[in-house]
Amino acid sequence: MKTLSCPVDSIEYYNHDTRRIFLKIPEGESVDFKAGQYLQMILPTNKKCPFSIASAPSLEGMVEIHIRPTPGSEDSKIIETLLDEAKVIDLELPLGDCFLEKAPAGPLLMLAASTGITQMKSIIESILPGGLEHPVHLYWGVLADKDLYLSDLCKSWEEKDKNFHFVPVVSEPETSPDWQGKTGLVGNIALDDLGDVSDTTVFVSGSPGMVYATLDLYVENGLPEKNMFSDIFSYAPRAK
């Protein structure tokens, strides 16, 4: 792990509130991270806020992160101001033991909530170029269809490999009157679709409540607990 002061290369909005940020690795430095790991942004208050690395390790000289504001969060207000004004942002990276270096020898299910899609993006862009021998299912759950800011990219992955399957899910369909796709809780929808998950590797990115509810549901339906992976298990462990 390193602490680096990284120049801002570019910041652009994907949609109404989500920004894509590219940060340069300082000259003479290198960062060896694995697909699925995260970094921590060091705020002017010295507080550290985690964000999944959205880029694959093959991207040289930069890291990509996606950030959307969190209503009511003072840290989020500080981060938004930092993104508006800063030319250099301090990072601590890489962190996390929830990563994937190669596609598993069996089905892979990826469950992403909101901007949790960034962790999955890094993993998919890492394993897709080598071809997929087994099915990979990406289920992305959002509150409203306007939050599906990477849907075109996800659909392009389907076009590149017949073993890749993308399913967007809207949890609050009343916010999206024109939505014609799946609605409900993303983990439940995936389980209903796939049925048998006993030989599946599952990666989950979301809130602690979402992750642990998904773990319980899947274990009840035949998934070996060791087959599910999430950063939540490390930084928000369940009380014993």
Residue 33's closest CA among 136, 122, 147? Answer: 122
Query: What average pLDDT score do residues 186-193 get?
Result: 98
Distance CA 10, CA 87 (A): 10
Share of the chain above pLDDT 70, in %: 100
Distance CA 184, CA 71 (A): 23
Distance CA 68, CA 76 (A): 8
Query: What average pLDDT score do residues 60-77 get?
Result: 95
pLDDT tens per residue across span 73-105: 999 999 999 999 999 999 999 999 999 999 999
Residue 206's closest CA among 188, 226, 221? Answer: 188
Distance CA 44, CA 80 (A): 12
Instruction: Give me the pLDDT at residue 239, please.
Output: 79
* CB proximity list for 166: less than 8 A, separation 6 or greater: 138, 140, 154, 155, 157, 158
Reply yes or no on whether the pLDDT at 240 is more than 80.
Answer: no
Reply yes or no on whether the pLDDT at 64 is more than 90.
Answer: yes
Pick the CATH number of 108-235 from 3.40.50.300, 3.90.1180.10, 3.30.70.3270, 3.40.50.80: 3.40.50.80
Reply yes or no on whether the pLDDT at 154 is more than 80.
Answer: yes
Instruction: Give me the pLDDT at residue 111, please.
Output: 98
B/e letters for 134-149, b = 16+ CB within 10 Å, e = fewer, are eebbbbbbbeebebbb
DSSP 177: T
Q: CB under 8 Å, gap of 24 or more: what pairs does 10-14 form?
A: 11/83, 14/66, 14/149, 14/150
Instruction: Give me the pLDDT at residue 16, please.
Output: 87
CATH number of the structural domain 2-95: 2.40.30.10
Q: Is the dihedral of CA 156, 122, 167, 66 positive or negative?
A: negative
| Average per-residue pLDDT for the chain | 96
CB 190 within 8 A of CB 109: yes
Decide: pTM greater than 0.85: yes
Instruction: Give me the pLDDT at residue 235, please.
Output: 83
CA 23 to chain CA centroid, nearest Å: 18
Q: Where are the domains of the chain?
A: 2-95, 108-235
B/e letters for 85-104, b = 16+ CB within 10 Å, e = fewer, are eeeebbbbbbbbebbbeebb
pLDDT tens per residue across span 29-60: 999 999 999 999 999 999 999 999 999 999 99
